Structure 1
Amino acid sequence: MAFDDAYGALTDHADDARWAYGTGFTDPLAGVPADLPDGVDRADLAAYCLMLGDDALIMSHRLQQWVTRAPELEDELAIANIGLDLLGQARLLLTRAGTAEGAGRDEDDLAYRREAHEFRNVRLAERDDADFAQLMARLLVFTTWRLALFDRLSGSRDPMLAAIAAKGVKELTYHRDYAAQWVVRIGDGTPLSHARMAAAISGVLPLAGELFQAHEVELRLAGVAVDPAVIRGEFDAVLAEVLTAATLEPAELPEVPATGRDGEHTAALTEILAEMQELARAVPGGAW
């Protein structure tokens, strides 16, 4: 189905009960082979897609909570669009996870019908932010890491993961630049804003070490997944450049063991899921 404009795609929803997501748009994965690469374990590929999909899903939800709270209307739109981009990534990755798993679960099952201990997102994605400086600091760390990861993942042996990553690189480039501009603007601003951003960076770094701890699933999927340790140098270089421009001190990331990847989360994730899954659990099998 083709439309001349996005409005037409949104309003003609006869082919999809979940019309609010939009229908009629070109499938970004059309023509991409869906078969699993030779020698790849189904469970491992499903677990890896869940990791990346859950990161995007939970971070997207946190960003949506900032709509109406941003300092300017333009920033509310920017944050909403970043959240929608991540939601789109989550949908593709959770769909791929369900296909790889082969148990009949789709993106809705994986998003709305799992408990907190079944989620595999990093803890960085689930943290709440007390102010805009904290949000931008966390977004900078998250997008700098994810962009470097997706850039390498675009060469994955799994054509589906490679296509999802290639699409995501374009989106994440904007996400990272947006966050970086705000970190510089706040850091290199007034004494008060500088102090706020310095505190925000210090507060988010303890959660960043987990991003580079390779999980056993990632190591078993050599050639399909990306060992996060290999992107640490790029991450450090970008973060240092942004912090220098923001007149902030260079930061050291503490080494911490992976936790979220193994289903160990903070109470914040339980609160997020209670809100996000409320309707789906109240109306099992419902479509909207």
Structure 2
Amino acid sequence: MSFDNAFDALTQDDGDTRWAFGTGFDDPLAGIDPAVPEGLDRAALAAYCLMLGDDALVMSHRLQEWCTHAPELEEEVALANIALDLLGQARLLLARAGVAEDKGRGEDDLAYFRDASDFRNVGLAEADNGDFAYSTVRLLLFATWRLALLDRLTASGDPVLAAIAAKSVKEVAYHRDHAAMWTIRLGDGTGLSHDRAQTALDDLWPLTGELFATHEVERRLADAGAGVDPADAREECDAVIDEVLARATLRRPAPVPPHLAGRDGAHSAALACLLAEMQGLAREHPGATW
């Protein structure tokens, strides 16, 4: 099929959701009333969108750090595109948080002018990249969990959150499958790649307990029919991870009990370093546009 220009080729809907721009440039919120539904707790909705948006924003930045460092060019492009997907999700979710809290803050204010203690992302997203096996296993754990949440959020009582989730499910399904492919390739590859993948899994596993701990905000939104209790997604996530690990010949670590940390603003030093890099330009030139 021929196109008059490259932009037409990118925006043409060919049904291939695996291409980073294949989900199109259409506004996922077009035609949806942005007003917070009657009876829904605005503060809780804002806090919930911050949690999901911060997860995506921080994870996106970690993946962007692989640019010029990935083991092969094709993988560098793939990781950059996954990072762009997550950045797009973060923008929508932070914008929704700003509307819900109604304090005059937009997506840029929330991304660039909050300190680490104000971020609500899970610790898994902020951990340093480590080697390629570490980042691959981290992406598998993160995407498997996020996909389970987003799939349930497509039925959210908040139409905006439901629309964001519907768009994001297509993207994160690819993220999970891509990470699974690489985890199997590394785990069932050479002795060195297997050992590195197993070490990454062992190191990251303690952070997974936080993924399934239910914060009061999550419980409140779930009870209102607008959010998801992450504990309800654990069985589904376990089944997916177990299948991937079996094919990758990797040993699953011992179970980790649920615990809260990042959702309450408790973070590692790694997040402060990440934010210093990500927010530096905006804070040096507040209000600037380019």
Do the two structures share a fold, i.e. TM-score over 0.5? yes
1:94 aligned to 2:102?
no
Deviation at 1:140, TM superposition (A): 0.2
The alpha carbon displacement at 1:182 in A equals 0.5
The 2-side partners of 1:253 and 1:93 are apart by 31
Alpha carbons 2:45, 2:97 under 8 Å: kept: yes
AA partner of residue 283 (structure 2): R
Decide whether aligned partners of structure 1 residues 5 and 52 sit closer, same or farther in structure 2, where only a CA change above 3 A counts.
Answer: farther
CA distance in 1, matches of 2:58, 2:155: 25
Distance 1:130 1:210 in 2: 20
Q: Secondary structure at the match of 1:277?
A: helix
Residue 82 of structure 1 is matched in structure 2 by 82
Question: Is 2:211 the partner of 1:233?
Answer: no
User: Do the aligned residues in 2 keep the contact of 1:208 with 1:253 (CA within 8 Å)?
Assistant: no
Corresponding position of 2:138: 138
Counterpart in the other structure of 1:246: 248
Match of 2:285 in 1: 283
Q: Check conservation: 2:212, 2:258, Cα contact below 8 A.
A: no
Cα separation, 2, equivalents of 1:194 and 1:124: 21
Identify if the C-alpha distance between structure 1 residues 76 and 230 changes in structure 2 by more than 3 Å, giving closer, same or farther. same
Cα offset, 1:275, TM superposition: 0.3
1:245-286 deviation line (CA, Å, top 9, x unaligned): 001123333114211001110000100110000110010100
Deviations 1:34-63, CA, capped at 9 Å, x for gaps: 121221111100000000000000000000
CA distance in 1, matches of 2:191, 2:63: 27
- Partners of 2:87 and 2:278 lie apart in 1 by 13
- Within 5 Å, give how 1:7-26 maps onto structure 2: 7=7, 25-26=25-26
CA RMSD of aligned residues (A): 1.7
**Equivalent residue number for residue 69 of structure 2:** 69
- For the pair 1:169 / 2:169, whether they are aligned, the reply is yes
TM-score if structure 1 supplies the norm length?
Answer: 0.91
- Please state whether the residue corresponding to 2:69 is helix, strand or coil: coil
Paired position in structure 1 for 2:56: 56
1:40/1:5 CA distance change after superposition, 3 Å: farther
Q: In 1, distance between residues paired with 2:79 and 2:252?
A: 26
Matches within 5 A, 1:159-198: 159-198=159-198
Structure-2 separation of matches of 1:147 and 1:37: 25
Name the counterpart of 1:18.
Answer: none
Partners of 1:153 and 1:225 within 8 A in 2: yes
Instruction: Report whether the alignment pairs 1:268 with 2:290.
Output: no
Q: Could you report, residue by residue, the CA deviation over 1:135-178 in whole angstroms, capped at 9, with x for unpaired residues?
A: 00000000000000000011000000000001000000100000
Percentage of pairs with the same residue = 64
What SS is found at the alignment partner of 2:120? coil
2:195 and 2:26 mapped to 1: Cα distance? Answer: 46
Cα shift readout 1:57-116 (whole Å, capped 9, x = no counterpart):
000000000111111100000000000000000000000000000011000000001011
SS in 2 for 1:31: coil
Runs of 4+ in 1 over 2 A off after TM superposition: 4-8, 250-253
CA apart distance, 1:25: 4.1
Equivalent AA in structure 2 for residue 243 of structure 1: L
Q: Which residue of 1 aligns with 2:21?
A: none
Partner of 1:214: 214
| SS of equivalent residue, structure 1 residue 32 | coil
For residues 246 and 262 of structure 1, the distance between their equivalents in structure 2, rounded to whole angstroms, comes to 34
Aligned CA distance change for structure 1 residues 7 and 278 (closer, same or farther; 3 Å): farther
Q: Is the 8 A contact 1:240 1:251 kept in 2?
A: no
Q: Specify whether residues 275 and 232 from structure 1 end up closer, same or farther in structure 2 by C-alpha distance, changes over 3 A only.
A: same
Shift in CA distance, 183/25, structure 1 to aligned 2, threshold 3 Å: closer
1:109-143 deviations in Å (ceiling 9; x for gaps) = 00001011000000110001220000000000000
Matches of 1:185 and 1:107, distance apart in 2: 38
d(CA) in 2 for partners of 1:66, 1:234: 29
* Runs of 5+ consecutive residues of structure 2 not aligned to the other structure: 11-23
Query: Structure 2: how far apart are the matches of 1:7 and 1:70?
Result: 27
Determine the C-alpha separation between the residues in 2 that align with 1:181 and 1:188: 11
Between the aligned partners of 1:107 and 1:6, the Cα distance in structure 2 is 29
Instruction: Please tell me whether residue 147 in structure 1 is matched to residue 141 in structure 2.
Output: no
Contact residue 129 and residue 135 of structure 1 kept, 8 A? yes
Q: Secondary structure at the match of 1:146?
A: helix
Q: Secondary structure at the match of 1:155?
A: coil
Aligned length: 272
